[in-house]
Amino acid sequence: MKMLISDIGDIELTKDGNVQLHKMQIQHPTASLIAKVATAQDDKTVNGTTSNVLIIGELQKQADLYISEGL
């Protein structure tokens, strides 16, 4: 379960990653793109939102490793 708190203090508990991403106000361009990919996945298959976010995060970690090594 994850907890979201609105600007006015309302609390919502949910297990659905798609709901979370739709309700969050994401400012960072890369994070916004990741959220769009994950919600598009969920809109088509009704599953996989959290998995997509985790996979993209791991890909970014590996890319950062390669970049820091000069590849």
pTM here? 0.67
Q: Domain extents for the chain?
A: 2-69
How far, in Å, are 27, 34, 45, 70 from residue 31 at the CA level?
8, 5, 21, 24
pLDDT tens across 23-37, in order? 888 999 999 999 998
Query: What are the percentages of helix, strand and coil residues in the chain, rounded to 5?
Result: 60, 10, 25
Beta strand extents in 1-71 (DSSP E only):
2-5, 11-14
Q: What is the pLDDT of residues 59-69, one digit of tens each?
A: 999 999 999 99
The confidence band for 56, taking pLDDT boundaries of 50, 70 and 90, is very high
| Sign of the dihedral through C-alpha 49, 51, 57, 62 | negative
